[in-house]
Amino acid sequence: MSSFRFHQRLTCEIETDVGTIGIGYAALAPIVVKQAIDKWFAPMVIGEDRFDVACL
């Protein structure tokens, strides 16, 4: 069995209004993940309370 090699990676950094930073990575289908973040996930969380985790 040959090894699986990733050719592309996506690093996503999220920063709150108080400067807390979160980092996430995607190695499978990073282009699709970026499109999903830009189209759906970013609009859902921008401007929301960072402590309200139940809303997601």
| Cα 28 to Cα 26: distance, rounded to the nearest angstrom | 6
**Per-residue pLDDT for 39 more than 90?**
yes
| Cα 21 to Cα 12: distance, rounded to the nearest angstrom | 10
Q: Is the pTM of this model over 0.85?
A: no
Direct distance between the N- and C-terminal alpha carbons of the chain, in angstroms, rounded to an integer: 40
In this structure, is residue 55 part of a structural domain? Answer: no
Structure tokens at 37: 């973040």
In this structure, is residue 16 part of a structural domain? Answer: yes
In this structure, is residue 54 part of a structural domain? Answer: no
In this structure, is residue 2 part of a structural domain? Answer: no
Four-CA torsion 6, 13, 44, 9, nearest 10 degrees: -10
Q: Mean pLDDT score of the chain, rounded to an integer?
A: 86
Which residue range is the domain that position 27 belongs to? Answer: 10-48
In this structure, is residue 42 part of a structural domain? Answer: yes
Model pLDDT, residue 27: 85
The total number of structural domains in the chain stands at: 1
**Per-residue pLDDT for 34 more than 90?**
yes
In this structure, is residue 35 part of a structural domain? Answer: yes
